[in-house]
Amino acid sequence: MKIICISAVTCLLFVSFAKAQQSPPKTDTVFFEDFNENTLDRTKWNVEITGNTVNDEQQAYVDSACTLTLVKGADAEGALNGALLLKAVYHPGYISKENKKYDFLSGRINTQHKMEFTYGTASARMKMTGGAGLWPAFWALGNGKWPDCGEIDMMETVGDPTWFSNALHGPNYFGNTPLAYRYHFPSETDVSQWHVYSVDWSANSLIFKVDGIVTYTVTRAMVEHYGRYAFDNAKFIILNFALGGGYPGGVNKIKAPYYGISQSTVDTIKAGQAKVLVDWVLVTKNAN
């Protein structure tokens, strides 16, 4: 920037303005999880146990080191301080506490009633396996009845490694919501590599990003075209690894061997290679 000093005062004002334009806003950390301990910190996270799926998914969520653990070194695949590993497991004939039968097990954790926030930036550094029907997600949900409570999907993929989706769900805009966008990675880039997925959430907009690049922007006006803006209430973070079901099946049209899951993906799961790694999760707010 070229600055012509008309006077000392004017020059100082120009320099101050330039510095203000260049400096990012200060932020306060609301929540940070580096997954660098030996076991999951259960003062921060709830581990969900359920076999009562709502989207015809093919997995039961269990609290087991087979499906949910913290890893270090080579197992962390580049996460220097360790990582959370969510892993899909083939376990034919598993009976859930709801007395339902499943052939797959997986992991899901959330921060409900332990860390909830309204507005701010939520981000996570993640990498995951591709394969038709693998359905990991990084998202935020409000308390109360869905979809009225509001849902923010920072990252979802249904197994095609070349893209992921952002979405919002709320009253009159849910399910196959009109407020969704698929972001396609540039060539030679995909979900199997480390990326930072995030959302900047305010009273008037939600701006989704990957690696700092804006992928999708939704304004309050866009939401209110369909229904109430369900994003003025506190949300909690969820990390989960679903398998098959409505969203993957709706995209890939696979009916067998499992709804939304291809045989090659079943083989990947059996080989122990269907994984989601989370390096860290961070929630910040602009400082006052």
Q: What is the pLDDT along the chain (288 residues), one digit of tens a residue?
A: 443 444 444 444 434 444 444 556 678 999 999 999 999 999 999 999 987 788 999 999 999 999 999 999 999 999 999 999 999 999 999 999 889 999 999 999 999 999 999 999 999 999 999 999 999 999 999 999 999 999 999 999 999 999 999 999 999 999 999 999 999 999 999 999 999 999 999 999 999 999 999 999 999 999 999 999 999 999 999 999 999 999 999 999 999 999 999 999 999 999 999 999 999 999 999 876
Query: Looking only at Cα atoms, what is the longest distance across the chain?
Result: 81
Position 1 scores a pLDDT of: 43
Q: Which residues pair with 86 in a beta bridge?
A: 68, 276
Tell me how far apart the alpha carbons of residues 119 and 273 are, in angstroms, rounded to a whole number. Answer: 36
Structure token pair of residue 191: 């979900």
Position 218 scores a pLDDT of: 98
**Domain 26-286 CATH class label:** mainly beta
Position 22 scores a pLDDT of: 54
β-bridge pairing 101-106 and 59-61: parallel
Measure Cα distances from 1 to 10, 14, 19, 22 in Å.
15, 10, 11, 11
Is the previous residue joined to 161 through a cis bond, with omega within 30 degrees of 0?
no
Measure Cα distances from 149 to 119, 237, 284 in Å.
15, 14, 21
Q: Is 177 exposed, middle or buried (0-12, 13-18, 19+ CB in 10 A)?
A: middle
Tell me how far apart the alpha carbons of residues 70 and 81 are, in angstroms, rounded to a whole number. Answer: 10
How many helices (DSSP H) and strands (DSSP E) are in the chain?
4, 19
